[in-house]
Amino acid sequence: MSDPNSANDAQESAKPLADPTVGELLRHPEVRNYQVAALAALVVLFGMLMGRGIMLGGALTAIIGVAGIFLRWIAAPVFVIILTTYFALFPSGVPEFGYSDPFMMSRQHFRLEDMILTAAVLVYVASQYRLFGVLTQSVPSEDRRSNLKRAAIRRPPSAIPAREIAPMFLAIGMVVVVGQAAWWCLSTVRIVAGDGFSLVIPNVFAYRQSPQAGRFSPAGSRFVLLAGMVFFPAVLAMVVFAYRRYRALPPLEAKQILQDTQWRENYREFSRIETWRTWAQRRQNRRK
Amino acid sequence: MLTSRGYWFLLIVSLVVILGVVAVPTWSVAPAVMGLALLAWFAYEWVRFRWRLTSAIARLRVERVLVQGDRIVPMVWAGIPFRVRVTIQYPSGSSVPYAFVEDRIPLGVEILQGTGDRHSALRPGQPLEVEYELRVAMLGMLRFEGLRVRVVDLQGFFFHHAFLREGVEYLVLPPLTDDEGRQRADKRFNMLPPPGIHRFRRPGTGSELLDLRDYRPGDPPKMIAWKASARRDRLIIKEYESDVPVRCVLFLDASQSAVIGPPGETATVRLATLASGVAQAAAANRDLVGLTVFDENDSRTLAPARTRTHLITMMQRLAETAARLPDVRHVHPEELSRRATYLARSVYPELMTRGNNAVPFGRHWIPLLDARWGWLAVAAIAATPFLVIQKEWLRATAGIAWATRLEATSGIVRFLSFLGAWACIAFSPALVALGFWFLYSFRGWFNPRWGALNRRKRLASLLCLRDGTGVAGIERLIHDDQAFAEAVAKFLTEHRLRCPFPLHDEDGRYLFRGEAKVEILANSLLQAVSRARDNELYVVLADLVELGPNLARFLKAARVARSKHHQVLVIVPWPADLEEPAPKPEKPERSPKGVTIREGKLKAARRGSQQSERERLETFQPALRAAFRQQFEAAYQQLRRELARAGVTAIRLNPADSVQVVLDRLDRLRGLRTRR
């Protein structure tokens, strides 16, 4: 016999979900945690932008963020990212570049202000997306071509374990530091592709030197470095995951892969044989 | 893998990163720092998701039990609610924070409680349980394919779905109608009636007086009829009738004509339900009951017996028979392919992915040499070198090439242009043949049946894998429509998926008439007669209405049975989708204007040419149905007359008839005393 508590849980979580209102959701402490976290992140973001004198940007970002939380506007996180980027570049809101400071890159590593801004955006985005899982849809629909309109699958608040939000803060703190480290690496290290291909830390005044023939410009160097930083870890991760997947491959799937490989190598011969066999069969039927 | 939410997020963040790192860092580093952090977070979530996924999905195991009457049962009874309890075991691995588990509930069941799904985390060592309550109205079979597990990360960026296949089948037995059937307890109740309650006119130990005879030494004194002895002045003994059981053999039609129909309302299901009632009524009277299931190909017999185990075995056989599905080999392969592909994608998702079951572009290339005249192109290519070495051809082509060469200052350019022109002209037959070859084969990439071929290959690959046919079978199923239809029909039948099928072939012939079953039925009846003892009752539950001219063999077998003093009853099902016949002949109803309804319908039909297609259909449909009902009724009456000539009684099983009604009619026909 099963545990009666677990059976009750199953029944509870298996209940069809009515469209929950924000008020109903606030009653669940786990959902409230995410809402409070997202709102707090928006307040911090608003404060940071205001501190830089970006009044309009701060207000717009906050309005869109709040709309995402309370009106379930699913594009809100993406717009918050875009708006924050835009107003960081154009504080007045008018698209014109001001004074270009080449020394800025060498000075602005691990600045607390940037780290708080980044952390605020990350907390808001992560909390908002998790809220969307409860409010709108948690599992995407599989059959997009189907005409059948199925009800969206939402994550019930009861399925959120207590303290789920804590690892999120930990992960965000970690990736903020990783992001800063990556930026330090990109802005400090430069690719020299002269006689060979090497990474060096050039003089801070190197930007004044015009790029020599066959050498990367600073922007090009950063781009190639960025591509390498994304590409090589991704390949490594793919290899590791592929190894793990093949190691735990179910027998039927493994047989399917082998069969398909064999078919791809031999389908021309098989197809030719079957074409002639069908032809012979048809002729035999005609004679009958 | 990536959801649309994930795609959008990655796209925007990538743009922010490229913009921030490459283009604008000398104005502001905030976009670069923020973009890199967002990208790192996305990568972190992806790694976590993949790591947990590869660790978890392969280790999940499903256990399912059906609970009916507080007991775990290997099969269920129709009409009685039961609980389905599914446990997902996850012994070890990384925990998955959120998964949506959904049981694939069989069709034709009524969900009483629960929904069969669950949102939960998957944690090693903590089994996940899904429980819900169902009820099945009709006997047959339930197939549980397994559970669909959908795993997403908490942000909804990544998604993976898997299917935990089980493929377990449970028989749905007809409900027990006696007192013991209503009791669910381990204790067995003593409800045995006396052995045999049917009168049999032979000396025995019954209660009805049969005869008087002279005393023979050894006769018990209590049997002496004293008054008769006194009158005749000698000892007279009373003889009583025997009370004996009747051996009842049921013949159940499981042919294709009886299997077709709405799910749960096919003739086989209704006849099997009735057979169950008859069998249980007979068993309640301590009669011996046997069962013969026949179709167009063969028959399976269960010898008459009256034990409890035998009754349960018979119920199982009835449930298996009721679960039969119609043959879909006549369905167009493309239609079958569409339905089977949907099923395969649901139940075997990992075997239908592009990665594991691909169709390369080269497969659509049409090989020219498969056509006999395609060798002309090869001949043209092969003959070209021989043509080129001919002096006349050489001279003529060189002349044309010289005339068309480029007028350039450089000698090398002039020479090369001459050489190119000469090669093109001299080898023109081969070039034309190659061009034709390319154009001919290239058409395959614009084939309108591209999608259908891809679908068929994927399905063929799956079917060959399941059957163990191997790689050679894939191309066979792609080329051979009949083999493909048979394989897909088997696949669909195994997974108990119904498919619309045509009732008539291209020439308009009814495909499910089933004349062959008459021979099988007649042979089964004769076999039963050959093994019979006294007082046998044969109940034939079969769809014989439209087989009028083909029934001679069965009528002959029935006459043999009657000549041996057995009783034969034929129960014919009335189609479920046809209105029941009126008990009395209908009198034409008169409308207020003095026009009969039929005349009114005919007038309406005459106006059909001025009506729309839908109105016309609405007008004609009742008339068509009435005509069909009339035709069926006439065929039934004809069958009844033919059976009556052979001494066989026919009963019509109407859709609304309960088992009790039919049993009463059976009892009246048998003219026997029963305990009910």
Note whether B62 and A149 are within 8 A (CB).
no
Amino acid at B268: T
Element (H, E) at B627: helix B613-645
From the CA of A215, how many Å to the nearest CA of chain B? 16
Residue A271 lies in a domain: yes
A204 & A108 share domain: no
Same domain, B486 and B428: yes
For residue B672, pLDDT over 60 is answered with no
Q: Which chain A residues touch B70 with a CB distance below 8 Å?
A: none
pLDDT band, residue B185 (cuts 50/70/90) = very low
Chain B nearest CA to A119, separation (Å): 8
Query: Which residue in chain A is spatially nearest to B469 when comparing CA positions?
Result: A259
Model pLDDT, residue B410: 75
Place of tokens 């990665």: B355
All residues of chain B having their beta carbon less than 8 Å from the beta carbon of residue A129 are: 5, 154-157
Which residues of chain B make contact with A285, given a CB cutoff of 8 A? Answer: none
> Do B297 and B516 contact (CB within 8 A), yes or no?
yes
Taking residues A63-86, report their average pLDDT: 91
Strands (E), B275-409: 288-294, 299-305
- Looking at the fold, whether B487 and B470 belong to one and the same domain comes out as yes
pLDDT beyond 70 at A193: no
Which of A117, A122, A156 has the CB atom closest to B119's CB atom? A156
**Among candidates B23, B114, B129 on the partner chain, residue whose Cβ is nearest the Cβ of A6:** B129
Q: Is the ipTM of this complex over 0.90?
A: no
CB spacing of B28 vs A89 below 8 angstroms: yes
Cβ contacts (< 8 Å) between A16 and chain B: which residues?
115
- In percent, the amount of chain B with pLDDT more than 70 equals 87
Give CA–CA dist B345/B353, Å, rounded: 8
Q: CATH number for the domain including B146?
A: 2.60.40.10
Q: Which of B458, B478, B510 is the last residue of a domain?
A: B510
Identify from B21, B33, B92, B131 which residue to disrupt to test chain A contact, counting A C-beta atoms within 10 A and taking the largest count: B33
The reply to whether A215 and A163 lie within a common domain is no
Please state, in angstroms and rounded to a whole number, the distance separating the CA atoms of residues B259 and B253: 9
Is B188 a domain residue? no
Q: Mean pLDDT in chain A?
A: 81
Among the partner residues A16, A82, A274, nearest to B12 by beta-carbon distance = A82
Instruction: Determine whether the interchain pair A271/B357 forms a contact, defined as Cβ–Cβ distance below 8 Å.
Output: no
Contact B272, B252 (CB under 8 A): yes
Pick left, alpha or beta for residue A49 (phi over 0 → left; psi -120 to 50 → alpha; otherwise beta): alpha
Q: Do both B485 and B521 map to the same domain?
A: no
Going by pLDDT thresholds of 50, 70 and 90, the confidence category of residue A5 is: very low
Chain B residues within an 8 Å CB radius of A179:
33-34, 36-40
Among B340, B639, B299, B326, which residue's Cα sits nearest to residue B511?
Answer: B326
CA–CA distances in Å: residue B177 to residues B138, B165, B318, B655: 14, 36, 15, 20
Judged against a pLDDT cut of 70, whether residue B512 lies above it is answered with yes
How many beta-carbon contacts under 8 Å exist across A and B?
A: 271
Bridge partners, residue B147, by sequence: B103, B164
Q: Sign (positive/negative) of CA torsion B609, B615, B619, B620? A: positive
Answer whether A259 sits within 8 Å of B358, measured CB to CB.
no
Contact B249, B528 (CB under 8 A): yes
Same domain, A30 and A46: yes
Collapsing DSSP states into helix, strand and coil, what is residue B309?
A: helix
pLDDT at A10 over 50: no
**Strand B117-122 relative to strand B96-103, pairing:** antiparallel
The DSSP bridge pattern shows strands B140-152 and B159-173 to be antiparallel
- Answer for the pair A200, A190: CB distance below 8 angstroms, yes or no: yes
- Closest approach of A195 to chain B, Cα-based (Å): 25
Measured between CA atoms, the residue of chain B closest to residue A49 is B30
Q: What is the DSSP letter of A16?
A: P
The one-character DSSP state at A196 is: S
- Predicted confidence (pLDDT) at residue A13 exceeds the cutoff of 50: no
Q: Is the domain of A50 the same as that of A159? A: yes
Residue B527 corresponds to which tokens in the numbers above?
Answer: 């076999």
Query: Cα–Cα distance between A133 and A126 in angstroms, integer?
Result: 11
pLDDT bracket for residue A265 (50, 70, 90):
very high
> Residue A182 domain-assigned?
yes
Residue B461 pLDDT exceeds 90: yes
Taking contacts as CB-CB distances below 8 angstroms, the residues of chain A near B464 are 259
B185 in a domain, yes or no?
no
Asked if the structure places residue B187 within a domain, the reply is no
Residues A129 and A272 both lie in one domain: no
| B216 and B275 assigned to the same domain | no
A211 — pLDDT class (breaks 50, 70, 90): low
CB-based contacts of B618, cutoff 8 Å, min separation 6: none
**Chain A contacts of B162, Cβ < 8 Å?**
none
Quote the pLDDT of residue A130: 93
- Whether B194 has a pLDDT exceeding 50, the answer reads no
Tens of pLDDT along A135-172?
Answer: 888 888 765 555 555 678 888 888 888 888 899 999 99
Structural contact between residues B328 and B317, judged by C-beta atoms closer than 8 angstroms: no
What SS3 state is found at B194? coil
Residue type, B422: W
Q: Say yes or no: A104 and A234 in one domain.
A: no
How many structural domains is chain B composed of? 5
A279 confidence band (pLDDT: 50, 70, 90): confident
pLDDT at B183: 45
Residues whose CB is less than 8 angstroms from the CB of residue B411 and which lie 6 or more positions away in sequence, other chains included: none
Domain for residue B475, yes or no? yes
Same domain for A258 and A126, yes or no, is: no
Tens-digit pLDDT profile for residues B393-452? 888 888 888 887 767 667 788 888 888 888 888 899 999 999 999 998 888 888 888 888
The length of chain B is 676
Cα–Cα distance measured from residue B506 to residue B209, given in angstroms and rounded to the nearest whole number: 66
pLDDT at A202 exceeding the cut of 80 = no
The pLDDT of A212-225, averaged and rounded, is 76
Q: For residue A154, what is the nearest residue in chain B, using CA coordinates?
A: B119
If one counts every other C-beta atom within 10 angstroms of the C-beta of residue B119, the result is 23
Looking at CA atoms only, how far is residue A104 from chain B in angstroms?
A: 6
Q: How would you label A181-192 residue by residue, b for 16+ Cβ within 10 Å and e otherwise?
A: ebbbbbbbebbb
Contact B472 A270 (CB under 8 A): yes
In a domain, A200, yes or no: yes
Share of chain B above pLDDT 90, in %: 30
B585: CATH: 3.40.50.410
Distance CA A280, CA B57 (A): 47
Q: Are residues A264 and A154 in the same domain?
A: no
Identify whether A6 is part of a domain.
Answer: no
**DSSP secondary structure of B396-419:** HHHHHHHHTS---SSHHHHHHHHH
Instruction: Tell whether A95 is covered by a domain.
Output: yes
Residue B368 and residue B483 share a domain:
yes
SS3 B109: coil
Same domain as B223, residue B139: no
Q: Does any domain span residue A115?
A: yes
Q: How many CB atoms lie within 10 A of CB B441?
A: 16
- pLDDT at A199 (0 to 100): 64
Let me know if residue B189 belongs to a domain.
no
Does B575 lie in the same domain as B524? yes
Let me know whether B538 and B647 are in one domain. yes
Phi, psi of B169 (to 5 degrees): -120, 140
Q: Please state the rounded mean pLDDT for residues B470-493.
A: 90
Do B267 and B391 lie in one domain? The reply is no
Of B21, B87, B97, the CB nearest to A222: B21
Cross-chain Cβ contact B26/A252 below 8 Å: no
Q: Is residue A7 part of a domain?
A: no
The per-residue pLDDT for range B329-388, each reduced to its tens digit, is: 778 888 888 889 999 999 999 999 888 898 888 888 888 887 778 889 999 999 999 988
Mean pLDDT across chain B:
83
CA distance B111 to B136: 9
Q: Which domain holds residue A93?
A: 15-141+150-187
Give mean pLDDT, residues A6-31. Answer: 58
Provide the residue type at A84 as one letter.
T
Quick one: pLDDT at residue A260? Answer: 94
Q: What local confidence, expressed as pLDDT, does residue B302 receive?
A: 93
Lowest mean pLDDT segment, chosen from A239-248, B16-25, B240-249: B240-249
Q: Tell me the residue range of the domain where B309 lies.
A: 247-326+512-670
pLDDT (mean) for A51-63: 88
pLDDT per position as a tens digit, B279-288: 888 777 777 8
Whether the per-residue pLDDT at A4 is higher than 70: the answer is no
Task: In whole angstroms, give the CA distance from residue B326 to residue B330.
Answer: 10
Segment (H or E) for B53: helix B30-56
B/e letters for A44-81, b = 16+ CB within 10 Å, e = fewer, are bbbebbeebebeebbebbbebbeebbeeebbebbbbbb
pLDDT for B138 beyond 80: yes
Tokens of B515: 């004349």
pLDDT, residue A142, reads 65
**Are residues A55 and A134 both part of a single domain?**
yes
Tens of pLDDT, residue by residue over B77-127, are 888 899 999 999 988 888 888 999 999 998 888 999 988 899 988 888 889
* Residue indicated by tokens 């068929």: B456
pLDDT confidence of residue A241 = 92
- Say how far apart CA B634 and CA A252 lie, in whole Å: 56
Q: Are residues B473 and B518 in the same domain?
A: no
Q: What is the pLDDT of residue A116?
A: 93
Could B25 and A264 be called an inter-chain contact, meaning their C-beta atoms sit closer than 8 Å?
no
Nearest CA among A14, A173, A250 for reference residue B120: A14
Same domain, A171 and A76: yes
Residues A212 and A127 in one domain: no
d(CA A141, CA A159): 20
> Are residues B80 and B103 both part of a single domain?
yes
What is d(CA A28, CA A160) in angstroms, rounded to the nearest whole number? 9
Higher pLDDT, B392 or B246: B392
pLDDT tens string B517-556? 999 999 999 999 998 876 688 889 998 888 878 889 999 9
Instruction: Give the residue from chain B lying closest to A110, CA to CA.
Output: B33
Domain identity same for B526 and B602: yes
Burial class of residue B626, CB neighbours in 10 A (0-12, 13-18, 19+): middle
Q: Count CB atoms within 10 A of the CB of residue B329.
A: 15
Pair of tokens at residue B433: 């043949």
- Interatomic CA distance for residues A279 and A285, integer angstroms: 10
SS3 B65: strand
Nearest-Cα residue of chain B relative to residue A236? B47
Signed CA dihedral, A273, A279, A285, A287: sign only: negative
Sort strands B247-253 and B536-541 into parallel, antiparallel or unpaired: parallel
Same domain, A61 and A173: yes
Q: Is the pLDDT of residue B586 over 90?
A: no
Q: Which residues of B touch A252 (CB under 8 A)?
A: 351, 465
Residue A8 lies in a domain: no
pLDDT on residue B199: 57
Find the Cα–Cα–Cα–Cα dihedral B343, B346, B348, B354, rounded to 10°.
100
- Pick from A78, A97, A140: CB nearest B8: A78
Q: Is the pLDDT of residue B303 over 50?
A: yes
pLDDT for the residue numbered B63: 93
Domain count within chain A: 3
Which pLDDT does position B379 carry in this prediction? Answer: 92
User: Could A153 and B100 be called an inter-chain contact, meaning their C-beta atoms sit closer than 8 Å?
Assistant: yes
